[in-house]
Amino acid sequence: MARIPGRQPTAPPTLADVAERAGVSRQTVSNAVNNPDLLRADTLLRVQEAIEELGYLPNRAARNLRTRASHLVGLRINPVQEGTASAIMDRFVHSLVETSREAGKHVLLFAGDPLDPLAGYDDLLRSTAVDAFVVTDTYLGNPQAAWLGARRAPFVAFGRPWDNPAANHPWVDVDGAAGCELATSHLLDQGHERIAWIGWRKDSWIGEDRRSGWTRALRARGLSTTGLASRVEDTVASGRGASAVLLDEARPTGFVCASDTLAMGVLHTLAERGLVAGRDVAVVGFDDSQVAQVVPPGLTSVRQPLEEVAVEVVKALEGLLAHPPAVGPGVLLTPTLTVRGSSSAVGFGT
Amino acid sequence: MARIPGRQPTAPPTLADVAERAGVSRQTVSNAVNNPDLLRADTLLRVQEAIEELGYLPNRAARNLRTRASHLVGLRINPVQEGTASAIMDRFVHSLVETSREAGKHVLLFAGDPLDPLAGYDDLLRSTAVDAFVVTDTYLGNPQAAWLGARRAPFVAFGRPWDNPAANHPWVDVDGAAGCELATSHLLDQGHERIAWIGWRKDSWIGEDRRSGWTRALRARGLSTTGLASRVEDTVASGRGASAVLLDEARPTGFVCASDTLAMGVLHTLAERGLVAGRDVAVVGFDDSQVAQVVPPGLTSVRQPLEEVAVEVVKALEGLLAHPPAVGPGVLLTPTLTVRGSSSAVGFGT
DNA sequence: ATGAAAGCGCTAACAT
DNA sequence: ATGTTAGCGCTTTCAT
């Protein structure tokens, strides 16, 4: 990289450096970067050469100050839940970063006090550090949505506004009911007729949604759900306990679970009883976590299309930050089912 | 939040707004924020009240432009390795974000073409979007370190400069050899004498380091390692294959693995042969992934102290960005062993 | 098609 | 202890 004498050896070149080198004004360089159409072809070429030679790239801070935009998207991350199989954030974050890059944005991570869902948002907003937020933890009944809305802070939610269908912020979500219906139908197709559900407590909107997919699939085949459902906390121990009770009292031949964590609990029960998943009892989880992928004999699981979610989220962000802002309707994506050994003898061997 | 008439209703208050309200100059407000010691107590109080009332927070872009610092740390993230148990990034990223916050920094995520380890760094550097980088994927023989060094880009590595012990950049790493020695000693203490190693190919520095811990522990008790080691790719299938061969040819009663992924491969082999982990054969993995935590009967695993790593990384960053920069020696942290059912009948029941 | 002037909000350097 | 001046690097507006 060529250096201008008299400058700090590490200071990157500025617009003025390029202008001098190309023999034009600073403004023309700016136009070459942002509105190339305005330049005559030969001028443009000369400026571009100078840019190339100097390795010029616009200074972010200066541009941000001038345009009042940071091209940064804030994403709050919570601590990893140890002892669970929860694994979607990892994949989602990567997809979001990747997609954001294509849209000329970067992702700014910030931490949040798990007890205060609002912590961190305010400072970033008031210091104009980010242009918008991506809000992911809507499962709590997200006060963020209302709060951010009240502050006129642009944001896109990954997750439906369950508690307020009239909310007018953009959102993207995955159809959990469809996923569980898919899972249940898969077991029905394998010949199972007594299929149990292990899900979350009734106050979880997501949990009730997923459960409805199980109900729907059984009803569609004229099968009863009575005595086959259990609602517990999202822990391996709860899954194990619930499956033990269900096996004793309802004798199901298959389990559909609201999470991979609960499904792993079922695998624990089976291991204790000398039963083999996929041969003796079928098990399906939700999220297609790494756990599902590597546990013997492989856990069949509902997979959220997180790459698509990221694409839709970024699309919504771009609309939101456009002039004038454009807010489309919520987007509901359909998950797929990844079949492994836990639900089909064929799948044995990973 | 009070609003100044004549301004956009959404534009945050500026230094000038606060100055006017407090009846002082803009500089005094700036000092109140950055050098409160310079103000007389009563002036400081008045300014602070004005700041409070207006909800003022300094504009990031303006401050960044003026101070030539973004208080942003760049972290490149790679795609999640599907089908493996690899899980440390998640935990590390969260710890890093948390610790950075305490140091007044935020973490900027960017994506990288997995094939080009340098992609993404250059642009952020030249556009002065970040103050420094945290480099994590040093296992490849990291060209980033040399490259960033040549550009005088401040960075801290999570991972030793294996290929260049003379490198003078700050780094933090976890002692893999000590971890595997811990794991092997644990099995020795349980009475095992034939303990096999399943690790990575010889060109992996990290793999050889971890393996040396296994060797050291066996040698210390006068036991031979001959015929007990295998070097394969980091996949579940490889771990399964290697453990099958080792069981047939060397009859080990315990396995120490370079990763949880390989350890899961061992569990596959055991499941196929009707053997029970922890009762018939002991297995230890590395990384204490979620997989290790939830798989029945629980996988004993070496746990990296990622929270400490993050603390040391941020410490090193602060030194690096201080005036003048201060670069301390590399920091090597010691992992712990999390014992679960796969290596002790006691651990049965999670 | 190109250039000149102004200013985004802040802080470093110097006055007072 | 506080105020004044200048300028960080860029883009918007307006003139040429």
Residue A117 clears pLDDT 90, i.e. is over it: no
Chain A nearest CA to B59, separation (Å):
5
Instruction: Give the mean pLDDT of chain B.
Output: 91
- What confidence score (pLDDT) does residue A141 get? 65
> B144 vs A30, which has greater pLDDT?
A30
Q: Judge whether residue A38 contacts strand C, using its CB and a 7 Å cut-off.
A: yes
Nearest-Cα residue of chain A relative to residue B64: A61
Domain boundaries, chain A: 20-58, 72-174+307-329, 176-304
Residue B150 CB partners (closer than 8 Å, separation 6+):
none
Nearest-Cα residue of chain B relative to residue A105: B110
For chain A, give the percent of residues with pLDDT over 70: 94
Pairing outcome for strands A195-200 and B72-77: unpaired
- Strand D nucleotides within a 7 Å radius of protein CB atoms: 1-5, 7-13
Per-residue pLDDT tens over the stretch A131-183: 999 999 766 567 888 889 888 899 999 999 988 888 889 999 999 999 999 99
Residue A3 clears pLDDT 50, i.e. is over it: no
Question: Strand pairing partners for A232?
Answer: A200
Pairing outcome for strands A106-111 and A72-77: parallel
Query: What angle is formed at CA B94 by the lines to CA B167 and CA B303, rounded to 5 degrees?
Result: 70
How far, in whole angstroms, is CA A217 from its chain's centroid? 26
Residue for token digits 């899980």?
Answer: B87
Nearest-Cα residue of chain B relative to residue A294: B83
Q: How far is CA A329 from CA A48, A171, A173, B73, in A?
A: 41, 8, 12, 35
- What confidence score (pLDDT) does residue B11 get? 79
For residue A127, give the nucleotide whose C1' atom is nearest its CA. C9
- What confidence score (pLDDT) does residue A78 get? 86
Per-residue pLDDT tens over the stretch A260-310: 999 999 999 999 999 999 999 999 999 999 999 999 999 999 999 999 999
Q: Are the Cβ atoms of B295 and A290 closer than 8 angstroms?
A: no
Q: Are the Cβ atoms of A82 and B293 closer than 8 angstroms?
A: yes
Q: Look at domain B176-304 and name its CATH class.
A: alpha beta
Q: Which of B97, B129, B267 sits opposite A60 (nearest CB)?
A: B129
Chain A nearest CA to B38, separation (Å):
24
Lowest mean pLDDT among A81-95, A187-201, B132-146: B132-146
> What is the C-alpha separation between A210 and A234, in angstroms, rounded?
14
Question: Strand pairing partners for A301?
Answer: A285, A338
Q: CA gyration radius for chain B?
A: 26
Determine the distance between A36 (CA) and D16 (C1') in angstroms: 20
Chain A nearest CA to B154, separation (Å):
11
Residuewise pLDDT in 10s, chain B (350 residues): 333 333 344 678 999 999 999 999 999 999 999 999 988 989 999 999 999 999 999 999 999 999 999 999 999 998 888 888 877 889 999 999 999 999 999 999 999 877 787 888 999 998 999 999 999 976 656 788 888 988 889 999 999 998 888 888 999 999 999 999 999 999 999 999 999 999 999 989 999 999 999 999 999 999 999 999 999 999 999 999 999 999 999 999 999 999 999 999 999 999 999 999 999 999 999 999 999 999 999 999 999 999 999 999 999 999 999 888 899 999 999 999 999 999 986 544 33
Confidence of residue A8 (pLDDT cuts 50, 70, 90): very low
Tell me the whole-structure pTM to 2 decimals.
Answer: 0.92
Determine the distance between B16 (CA) and C12 (C1') in angstroms: 18
Q: Judge whether residue B7 contacts strand C, using its CB and a 7 Å cut-off.
A: no
What string of DSSP letters covers B40-107? -HHHHHHHHHHHHHHT----HHHHHHHHT---EEEEEEPPP-TTS---HHHHHHHHHHHHHHHTT-EE
Q: Judge whether residue B62 contacts strand C, using its CB and a 7 Å cut-off.
A: yes
Q: Is A72-174+307-329's fold the same as A176-304's?
A: yes
> A349 vs A110, which has greater pLDDT?
A110
Q: Are the Cβ atoms of A61 and B128 closer than 8 angstroms?
A: yes
How far, in whole angstroms, is CA A253 from its chain's centroid? 33
Size of interface A-B (CB pairs under 8 A): 183
Tokens (6 digits) for B271: 């499941």
Instruction: Tell me which architecture the domain covering A72-174+307-329 has in CATH.
Output: 3-Layer(aba) Sandwich (3.40)
- What confidence score (pLDDT) does residue A349 get? 39
